[in-house]
Amino acid sequence: MSDTTAQLSGDTLSNAERKTLMDVGFDDLSQRAGTSILVDRSIKLTHSVDPGVEILPLNEALKTYEFVQDLMFGLVSADANDHIRMIAADMDDPLGHFVWVKPGAKVRLPVQTFTLMETPQARQFTHDVTLIDEGAEVEMVSGAAAPSDVHRGQHISLSETYMRKGAKCRSVSMAHWGDGMEVYGYSYSHMEGGAQEESLSIALSAIRRDENNSVSTLMENATSVAQAICFAPSGTHRIMKSEIVLAGSGARSEDITRMVSAGGTITSDALLIGDAPGTQGFLGCDGLKLNKTGEIMAIPSLCARAEGSQLSHEASVGMIDSDKLNYLMASGMTEDAARDLIVQGFLSLDDAVVPDAVKARVAEMIVQAKSGGM
């Protein structure tokens, strides 16, 4: 068990850091089973109060546990592309979080991990490894952010997640980078038999370029329910590429992406592969444009390779339905209030899993986007 509790005085995080992190889901350490915070090029804090959770800087975990070397680059080749090669250049001294939820652990409080970029024009390369061991159950909150005075920089991240047999994980991840930043994320996950995942990712703030690539492999009877919510104010470009492979019989997945453009561009390119009998999968891509500029492109693709694999998709992209606006305005709402309600409904932010601070932040961003403040 990692124990850096001695570092956890109020001085460990500045007020400014706390504020930045709270926008992406940070809560007081007493409310979390474990916490890991990476700032610029070092891990600033790791802390765990639950014996079922081990949190370490990845470079330390590499030295502490022999098996960690087999998890690193276990789901993707270190040579997969230029970005991953840059991360792999520090393979023997990686920068990132290592989270291990031990076999059978039923973790009561969420585990939280955050990455902060505080230096303008920095380039940050991170590699996170998460192992949720056999039969373990955990809720995770992760966030990535830059403070409001950092506009430019580049962040490239690799995340590898292993869910062993029967593991269960519910997760929320949020990003709030600077508006001139470039972010490239690569996420790989492998779910063993019977593993269950329920995830929500939220990306709302303005950003010059945000590219996310993910590959998930689900083995026998594994299930995944994933939701992604993203917002693109003017000047923002988001590209999300995902591949879900239903590799074991009976594996099931539901992948929902909701996109809102207020002048920015969003591309969602999702591929669902049914590679084993008895698999079921669904892709849902819905896009809502708030004004005439910007672009939303939804590309759901299905590939059934095995007999009895049932895959489906739904996609819709368009402006706000004027019938809905009129209906709400006929009850006395202004057009702006009606739009806000429709957009927030579209994003389903009533979901209990979304922290209140994030819901408030979304409402604020919609208002700012309309007024041209973003």
Partner 1 sequence: MTIATPLLEVRDLCVAVGDKPVLKGISLKVAPGELHVLLGPNGSGKSSLLAAIMGLPPWRVTSGTMFLDGTPIDELSLFERAQLGIGMAFQRPPSLEGVSLNSFAKSIDAHSDLDQAAERLNLTAFLQRDLNVGFSGGEIKRWEVLKLILQDPHLALFDEPESGVDLEHVKAIGTAIQQFMARPDASGRQRAGLVITHTGLILAHVEASHAHILQNGELVHSGPPTELFQHVQSHGYSVPLAS
Contact set with partner 1 (CB under 8 A): 321-324, 326-335, 337, 341-342, 344-350
Measured from the CB atom, the residue of 71 and 349 that comes closer to partner 1 is 349
Measured from the CB atom, the residue of 39 and 260 that comes closer to partner 1 is 260
Measured from the CB atom, the residue of 22 and 329 that comes closer to partner 1 is 329
Question: Minimum Å distance from CB 365 to partner 1?
Answer: 17
Question: Minimum Å distance from CB 316 to partner 1?
Answer: 11
Question: Minimum Å distance from CB 98 to partner 1?
Answer: 37
How far apart, in whole angstroms, are the C-alpha atoms of residue 266 and residue 251?
Answer: 29
Measured from the CB atom, the residue of 93 and 336 that comes closer to partner 1 is 336
Measured from the CB atom, the residue of 311 and 328 that comes closer to partner 1 is 328
Measured from the CB atom, the residue of 101 and 228 that comes closer to partner 1 is 228
Q: Indicate if the alpha-carbon torsion angle 316, 320, 321, 325 is positive or negative.
A: positive
Question: Minimum Å distance from CB 107 to partner 1?
Answer: 28
Question: Minimum Å distance from CB 321 to partner 1?
Answer: 7
Question: Minimum Å distance from CB 326 to partner 1?
Answer: 6
Closest to 285 (Cα-Cα) out of 309, 252, 318: 318
